[in-house]
Amino acid sequence: MKKQVAVLPGDGIGQEVLNGALDVLKAVEDQYGHEFEIVQGKIGGAAIDHHGTPLPRETLDLCKQSDAVLLGAVGGPKWEDNPVDLRPEKGLLGLRKELGLFANFRPVKTFESLQDASPMKPSVVKDVDFVIVRELTSGLYFGEPRERRGKNREIAVDTLQYEKKEIEKVVHKAFQLASERRKKLTSVDKANVLESSRMWREVVNEVATEYPTVEVEHLLVDAAAMKLVYQPKQFDVIVTENMFGDILSDEASMLTGSLGMLPSASLREDTFGVYEPVHGSAPDIAGRNLANPLGMIQSVAMMLRHSFGLHEEAEMIDQAINEVLKAGYRTGDLSGHEKIHPVVKTDEMSDFVVEHFTPNYA
Ligand code: NAD
Ligand code: IPM
Ligand code: MN
């Protein structure tokens, strides 16, 4: 198989975790005889420094011409005080919007061998396996107006707005996913307060009639935040508004032991996707070879599955990660309270993953 992959490292640990992910992709390529043409582009702070904008035209064009995109992370203290249009995050939000990636899948699956890395009890984190489907191109992140006003700019406004069809699209995606899994969909909203949430709930109930095999429940976002740490096993697929999904996924990451473990896929109706870890540029550990690359590497596996239909290859990556963790190798973020595991560096971790690939006899 021949595919073009746009690679946007971004800032901070973005480059570090992507290096390892590309080694893994190269090993898949060699083992299975595929050809993945890697074309690098700039986004975020790196693009501001080189092109004066967080999302240069050529980066967007590159992504549009590619079959899939791998993205590291954007942001950092260097650009924190920039005006809003010259912030790294604006590049990421622009990319998602311009490419129409309305559904962000964030799988949360715990590894048996990482139970002691999570601050939660083993009985709580054991066998957790759910997916947060976060609406990604509307809601509070994109609604207009968003502005400062008043004589002394003493009023700040953000707008949580949805069109019905925007909710329908992402909710359909979530129902489809739930139909392929354990057939339970939890819709998370704040319908006791927000008008947009009341419409969200209405739409979920309407769309539900097309998926009679899927059980539907509605949860208010505050209660959902509690249940995520109280009884996370009850979840299969969660669908929610853009910012709710952002917050709940970082919370849920700690079930796995670290924010560095979570991958994501930003999708639309076709097979194209942007694949990135859930975490950010981690300025506190950047440049020191300390970051956990497994969220990024699992994002590569998601790309192989969703964009290229390469299920066996993706499975091999997931299994290799499982083996490496079972063998006790961990980056510092996973070292757990008792610190009994050898702490490995970012690049060593991706090397271990490649070493644990099973031979291909095909
Ligand atoms: P962060 O996700 O970068 O880091 C939060 C904490 O988790 C830090 O202590 C960090 O060291 C740790 N962490 C994150 N990823 C890790 C990994 N792979 N391995 C080990 N530890 C890891 O969030 P933040 O510090 O709030 O934000 C820093 C910058 O990143 C900000 O500019 C923010 O806007 C940006 N950000 C970008 C993305 C993205 O590009 N998708 C996501 C979140 C935050
Ligand atoms: C994420 C990040 C982004 C978001 C930021 C960097 C704009 O937190 O991908 O989760 O809020 O969507
Ligand atoms: Mn986030």
> Are the C-beta atoms of 218 and 191 separated by less than 8 Å?
yes
User: Does 362 score more than 70 pLDDT?
Assistant: no
In this prediction, residue 342 carries a pLDDT of: 77
Cβ of residue 92 lying under 6 Å from some atom of ligand 2: yes
- Classify burial at 80, counting beta carbons within 10 Å of its beta carbon; exposed 0-12, middle 13-18, buried 19 or more: exposed
Ligand 1 pocket test, pick from 249, 259, 261 with the greatest ligand atom count within 8 Å of Cβ, gives: 259
In this prediction, residue 361 carries a pLDDT of: 56
User: Does 112 score more than 80 pLDDT?
Assistant: yes
User: Does 2 score more than 90 pLDDT?
Assistant: yes
- Which residues, other chains included, contact 212 with Cβ-Cβ below 8 Å and sequence gap of 6+? none
In this prediction, residue 170 carries a pLDDT of: 99
pLDDT in tens, 17-51: 999 999 999 999 999 999 999 999 999 999 999 99
Structure tokens at 361: 């006899």
Kindly report the three-state secondary structure assignment for every residue of 171-195.
Answer: HHHHHHHHHHCCCEEEEEECCCCCH
In this prediction, residue 359 carries a pLDDT of: 76
pTM of the entire predicted model: 0.98
Q: Are strands 265-267 and 273-275 parallel, antiparallel or unpaired?
A: antiparallel
pLDDT in tens, 289-329: 999 999 999 999 999 999 999 999 999 999 999 999 999 99
Say what percent of the chain tops pLDDT 70.
98
Structure tokens at 339: 């610190």
> Are the C-beta atoms of 201 and 135 separated by less than 8 Å?
no
In this prediction, residue 335 carries a pLDDT of: 87
Instruction: Considering the candidates 11, 67, 246, 333, report the single residue annotated as catalytic.
Output: 246
Residue nearest (by alpha carbon) to ligand 1 atom 40: 73
More confident residue, 175 or 340: 175
pLDDT in tens, 319-357: 999 999 999 999 999 986 666 677 999 999 999 999 999
- Phi/psi at 68 (nearest 5 deg)? -165, 165
For residue 245, how far is its CA from the centre of ligand 3 (angstroms)? Answer: 8
| H-state helical runs in the chain | 13-32, 45-51, 57-65, 88-98, 122-125, 164-180, 195-208, 221-230, 242-256, 294-306, 311-326, 346-355
| H-state helical runs in 33-68 | 45-51, 57-65
* Residue-range domains of the chain with CATH: 1-104+263-362 (3.40.718.10), 119-256 (3.40.718.10)
In this prediction, residue 90 carries a pLDDT of: 98
Write the DSSP string, 310-359: -HHHHHHHHHHHHHHHHTT-B-GGG-TTT--SPB--HHHHHHHHHHTPPP
Provide the pLDDT confidence category of residue 163 given band limits of 50, 70 and 90.
very high
Q: What's the ipTM? A: 0.99
In this prediction, residue 321 carries a pLDDT of: 98
With both helix axes pointing from N to C terminus, report the angle between 346-355 and 311-326 in degrees, rounded to the nearest 10: 120
Provide the pLDDT confidence category of residue 281 given band limits of 50, 70 and 90.
very high
Instruction: Considering the candidates 11, 189, 190, 275, report the single residue annotated as catalytic.
Output: 190
The CB density around residue 143, as the number of other CB atoms within 10 Å, is 16
Task: For residue 242, give the ligand 2 atom closest to its CA.
Answer: 12
Task: For residue 96, give the ligand 2 atom closest to its CA.
Answer: 12
For residue 246, how far is its CA from the centre of ligand 3 (angstroms)? Answer: 5
222 is catalytic: yes
In this prediction, residue 197 carries a pLDDT of: 99
